[in-house]
Chains A and B, each alone.
Chain A
């Protein structure tokens, strides 16, 4: 029974909600204060339970300098693992990259910021980080840095919200995707005035227009710092600003179409503010298109003035709740969804007879996630889970059979050395089907198709953990069986599927207070360290090398590692945290222990008596 995700348009309702909260207005007030009073720095203000941190938009001009426009990898350009959570490896993906100049600016302000945050975190659980113009990108980087730290420290007691006003773009598509995967998109809200040129600037290569940009930047910064300078806008050279406007417009037309690789890309939510209202959109492609369509309705002078008009927009949108706002012109569709789109379009300041209204409508439709509602997805997954549970049960059964079997190899080694029997290939099939189920689930989670509190449900965390405990050993077996490691390297570093790392994290982050029981009277039903067998495989290689190695330095290193593994494994066995298949007589672990003993005694015999 397929159902539409929902038959309502919510981009406008969400913006309405946001505008009735004090967050938007208080953020702007502090931004405005930071612009005039805290050039090149930031200010902190606490209102009730919420602490606001605003970065001044008045910064060293080099920030937007075209020479600094190039993207640099974020994780490796920042010291002390500041953004380690955004590290993406493998998959042949482009690394997460950000604007070099803006990152540089942030890093210079960062120690001071982290100091302040240390103080703030002592007595505040709610932090809003905000900034106007370049201050907005500093706010975004600060929020990313904070979120990354929270994830690393496994703290969940602090909520972070970043609200920027007219901020330039910050990073590439990988950044945008990484933020989605971490489910941080909801922590970023970029407020963009209808015609403001700044949030659009980095969608075009600016090198040919360096001089115009410099003049503009100077003008904006002076005006932010002291409203008196705003009078000067008419002194800006008309032809040059108009040249910039048209240059940019040309690129914006193409921005949504071309491959976005190696260029700037929006992330998080965009709240577009117009004289008619506001809409909130979180689909990056729709954001890029709306950035273009609204810009195209403006003019050179609007595009420059709007960057300084956030005060008006914010005041207006936060007062809008008190008035009845009806449908203004044209026919109103009778279907709720279509009517909602029409109203959202009206709030975007695009009237129906405008040529851009058609494409803008498509954008809003695209922004809405199609498919089933998260809760229904979750229901379906649960039914899916109950359907694949039998597959898992068969693997459990297989394990029990191996444990009972006379060969005494345990299921890891039995599976690894299997010859084409029907039973083994059935288990292999199940393994693959289970992997597909869990990969799909992760994909749905990361693309926000599941309910927010999905992981707070013990069921899924427990099921993923149990799956991992049972099946990862088979994945390891398959990896070494098919001879992947000589070409790709060992499993632990190079072969482990991303899903297991995610499940590790889910398990680690689950409700605290479930203390582990450390006394076991029998061997655990499943080995608690799922990478145990991968470590055994590495230890086997170590032992092989130790037999042949002649270089004493390398040899001592090898022995060091062997000892380490031996101690680790012995502790697990003593604490009964391994399942009985590990200590089965013919398991590769038992064989390894034997081999070690033999090698040691052989070495003892070889030792010259004087030692």
Chain B
């Protein structure tokens, strides 16, 4: 588990981290400003730090975990094939939108400098969303080629599992760096439903607020309410961690599913690089989101029944406010441990090694270590999927009248269905849907085989059994592969459906008794799409052969003035 100095490993200089942490704390003390920015002369970076907020409404809104669908601000935070949209904390999104206008101006001023977005506490989520927004912007043409960085200190969790999935797929995850003190309660708060901590949260937040009378008050920290709050947050973190561990360990007991129906589990998940810090200057770097989730819980556990729970609860508040000071020291000491070979973690705490020293510092029991081990996932299934590569899809074309071609078509469909199934369960590597060779294979397969499936569908009149092909009958394997290509080439959604050409023709042929007037708009749109596909050579010109269904219909059913003016005219001879 080598890795060298922290700064080199995570791609951010130590000195920059220290500056960011100071600026993030300073932002809290600068009322009225949406953020602070700092660029030192000659430095290639600019730091933008966001202040936190201490009102309950800025942490949770509405629903039990205060989550909402991320909207078009973050189009990448979704799964491609499954088309699931990510969830993020609604209150954080709202606060981010409030400052977006002025942030845009600030970002323009950065010119050719790298931007570091930073935030402490609830300033963290704003820094995260700002970074994400910046990354989304950078996909547009003529945008800054310099990737940003995001560094947070004791930030609450911000988004659901779609965040780690999408960020790893887009190779953005390593831009996000999160520092978390071992006992800091704040990064764990979002693991509890709001209803369970509603009574205590306002007081707890006032403890962190420099302008509140309760700021760092022992009377709050030592209060029974704090202990109560700590236990509730820990219990919910434990539920989520043990539930995740059961699944990762491959528990097949049906009880797991039944019980899950009865309780609320937080949707929030960590992503990016986490650095767990102890008061003794130990820095533990974890990049696996599942392992981070386990650590968020297990670090909180008390060492024994005898340990003073109330004291630990008090510490869990205090540690939220020590980042600036602690990091100054820890970054000097460079006691850094990288937890990446999770499956080889030592289980027993008495072996002496640097890893074990760090794990013991974090207070990880054997059970905790087993839970970390199970986060290591090997995508064995991926190998099985590879079989599909052996099939030469092009062979199909030459002998498509042959029974064997049909057999090969069925077998191939089975393979593709399995890939889709694994994607649906998020069992393939996050970046799978962006891999060039798979997009190419999928597109070829789709263009070649889908027309055969459509022909079969309408020949067997399945449209009368189940409904139109495009709505009811289209297999997922085509929908997914189409979406992969649309995502990779940044096409608008639905525009890459050239392989459905024949299904659209069949539907046009049979709907509205073929009357032209009722469908004029639909036909015009369709023709434009066909024009585009044929021009781009995504669709072969053989569709214009006189004998093909399309031409028969086009010539017989459409009025001649329409045909004369049609954009397809130039492709159609005579």
Spell out A's residues near B (CB within 8 Å): 1, 3, 5-6, 8-10, 12-14, 16-18, 20-23, 48, 50, 126, 128, 159, 161, 183, 185-187, 189, 269, 280, 282, 321-327, 332, 334, 336, 339-340, 343, 369, 373-376, 378-379, 382-383, 385-387, 389-390, 393, 397, 448-449, 451-452, 457, 459, 514, 517, 519-522, 524-525
The verdict on B106 contacting chain A, using a C-beta distance below 8 Å, is no
Interface of B is mostly: helix
Among B254, B263, B374, the residue within 8 A (CB) of A452 is B254
Q: Tell me how far the C-beta of B348 lies from the nearest C-beta in chain A, rounded to whole angstroms.
A: 5
Q: Is the CB of B347 within 8 A of A334?
A: yes
Contact B366 A373 (CB under 8 A): no
The reply to whether A323 and B242 form a contact with Cβ atoms under 8 Å apart is no
Known pairs A20-B239, A390-B407. 6 more at Cβ < 8 A? A13-B242, A21-B262, A21-B263, A23-B259, A48-B195, A517-B466
Count chain A CB atoms within 10 A of each CB in B309, B384, B418 and give the residue with the most.
Answer: B418
Instruction: Choose one: A323, A378, A522; the contact of B464 (CB below 8 Å).
Output: A522
Which partner residue on chain B sits nearest A383 by CB separation? B414
Given that A336-B373, A382-B414 are contacting pairs, would A13 and B254 also be in contact in the complex, using a CB cutoff of 8 Å?
A: no
Task: Give bound CA distance, A326 to B427, whole Å.
Answer: 31
In the complex, what distance in Å separates the CA atom of A10 from the CA atom of B418? Answer: 27
Closest to B383 in A: A1
Nearest A residue (CB) for B374: A8
Closest to A459 in B: B417
Q: Would you list which residues of chain B between 256 and 271 have a CB under 8 Å from chain A? A: 256-259, 261-263
Residue of A nearest to B462 (CB): A525
A and B contact pairs by CB, cutoff 8 A, 7 listed: A8-B374, A21-B239, A183-B254, A324-B365, A379-B384, A386-B414, A452-B257
When the two chains form their complex, are residues B347 and A332 in contact, meaning their CB atoms are under 8 A apart? yes
| Closest B residue to A522 using CB positions | B461
Q: In the complex, are the beta carbons of B262 and A126 less than 8 A apart?
A: yes
Cβ contact of B254, chosen from A185, A390, A397, cutoff 8 A: A185
The residue on A at minimum CB distance from B510 is A521
Is A393 a contact of B406 with CB atoms below 8 Å? yes
Residues A10 and B253 in contact, CB atoms below 8 Å apart: yes
Instruction: Please report the number of residue pairs spanning A and B whose Cβ atoms sit closer than 8 angstroms.
Output: 210
Residues of B within 8 A of A519 (CB): 464
Within 8 A of A (CB), among B188-220: 195
B242 near A17 (CB under 8 angstroms)?
yes
Residues of B462-483 at the interface with A, using a CB-CB cut-off of 8 Å, are 462, 464-467, 472
With beta carbons under 8 angstroms apart, the residue of A12, A18, A321, A524 that contacts B234 is: A321
Note all chain A residues with C-beta closer than 8 A to B195. 48
Establish whether residues A393 and B253, one from each chain, have CB atoms under 8 Å apart when the complex forms: no
Interface string of B383-424 (1 = CB under 8 A from A): 110000000000000000001001100111111011001100
What residues on A are CB-neighbors of B363 within 8 Å? 324
**Bound-complex Cα distance A187 to B256 (A):** 9
Query: In the bound complex, do residue B255 and residue A18 qualify as a contact, i.e. CB atoms below 8 Å apart?
Result: yes
Q: What A residues does B556 contact at CB under 8 A?
A: none
Q: A321-B234, A389-B414 are in contact. Are A374 and B368 (CB under 8 A)?
A: no
B366 contacts A10, C-beta separation under 8 Å: no
Tell me which of B71-79, B156-164, B244-252 binds A: B244-252
The answer to the question of B235 belonging to the interface, with a C-beta cut-off of 8 Å to chain A, is: yes
Residues on the A chain within 8 Å of B465, using CB: 517, 524-525
Chain B residues with Cβ below 8 Å from A161 are 258-259, 262
- Interface: B304 (CB within 8 A): yes
Q: Which of B231, B253, B261, B370 contacts A280 (CB 8 A)?
A: B253
A319 to chain B, nearest CB (A): 9
Roughly how many angstroms separate A98 CA and B162 CA in the complex, as a whole number? Answer: 48
A327-B366 contact, Cβ under 8 Å, with A322-B301, A382-B418, A517-B467: yes
Query: Is B8 among interface residues, defined by CB-CB distance under 8 A?
Result: no
Q: Say yes or no: A159 contacts B261, CB within 8 Å.
A: yes
Taking a contact as CB atoms under 8 Å apart, the answer to whether B254 and A186 are in contact is yes
Judged by DSSP, the binding face of A is mixed
Q: Chain A residues with Cβ under 8 A from B493's Cβ?
A: none
Chain B 335-364: CB-based contact to A (< 8 A → 1; otherwise 0)? 000000001000111000000000000011
CB pair A343 B464 closer than 8 Å:
no
Residues B253 and A23 in contact, CB atoms below 8 Å apart: no
CA distance A14 to B249 in the complex (A): 10
A332 adjacent to B366 (CB under 8 Å): yes
In the assembly, what is the distance between CA of A577 and CA of B92, in Å?
Answer: 56
Instruction: Please tell me which one of the listed residues A5, A12, A322, A393 contacts residue B250 in the complex, with CB atoms under 8 A apart.
Output: A5
Q: B384 contacts which of A1, A183, A334 (Cβ < 8 Å)?
A: A1
**Would B367 and A383 count as touching, CB distance under 8 A?**
no
Taking CB atoms, residues of chain B closer than 8 Å to A323 are 301-305
| Those of B296-347 within 8 Å (CB) of chain A | 298, 301-305, 309, 343, 347
The residue in chain B whose Cβ has the minimal distance to the Cβ of A8 is B249
Whether A383 and B249, one on each chain, are in contact in the complex, defined by CB atoms closer than 8 angstroms, is: no
Report whether B262 and A280 are in contact in the complex, using a CB–CB cutoff of 8 Å. no
Are A336 and B374 touching (Cβ within 8 A)? yes
Given contacts A161-B262, A374-B252, A390-B410, contact A382 B417 (CB under 8 A): yes
Q: How many whole Å from A59's CB to the nearest CB in chain B?
A: 27
Does B238 make an interface contact (CB < 8 A)? Answer: yes
Q: Is the CB of A324 within 8 A of B301?
A: yes
Chain B proximity of A371: nearest CB distance (Å) = 10
List the B side residues contacting A520 at CB < 8 Å. Answer: 461, 464
Give A159's nearest chain B residue, CB to CB.
B261
Q: Is the CB of A14 within 8 A of B422?
A: no
A322 and B263 form a contact (CB under 8 A): no
- Enumerate chain B residues within 8 angstroms of A280, measured Cβ to Cβ: 253, 255
Give every chain B residue within 8 A of A3 (Cβ-Cβ): 380
User: A13–B373 Cα gap in the complex (Å)?
Assistant: 14
A326: which B residues are within 8 A, CB to CB?
349, 365-367
Chain B nearest Cβ from A373, distance in angstroms: 5
B376 (CB) vs chain A CBs: closest residue: A336
B243 part of interface (Cβ distance < 8 Å): yes
For B384, list chain A residues within 8 Å (CB). 1, 379
B302: chain A residues within 8 A (beta carbon): 322-324
A387 to B412 alpha-carbon distance, docked (Å)? 10
Residues of A within 8 A of B343 (CB): 336
**Which B residues are CB-close (under 8 A) to A1?**
380, 383-384
**B460 at interface by CB-CB < 8 Å:** yes
A500 to chain B, nearest CB (A): 20
Contacts of B231 in A (CB 8 A): 322
Assuming the A-B contacts A14-B256, A459-B417, are A50 and B262 also in contact, with contact meaning beta carbons closer than 8 angstroms in the complex? Answer: yes
* Known pairs A8-B370, A21-B263; A382 contacts B421 (CB<8 A): yes
Assembled-state Cα–Cα distance A282/B252 (Å): 10
B254 (CB) vs chain A CBs: closest residue = A186
Assess A282 versus B347: contact at CB under 8 Å? Given A20-B239, A321-B235, A517-B466.
no
**B522 CB within 8 Å of chain A:** no
When the two chains form their complex, are residues A10 and B414 in contact, meaning their CB atoms are under 8 A apart? no
Chain B residues with CB under 8 Å of A13's CB are 242, 245-246, 249, 251, 371
What chain A residues lie within 8 Å of B239 (beta carbons)? 17, 20-21
Q: Is B262 a contact of A23 with CB atoms below 8 Å?
A: yes
What separation, in Å, do the CA atoms of A386 and B410 have in the docked complex? 6
Which of B381, B407, B421 lies in contact with A393, CB distance below 8 A? B407
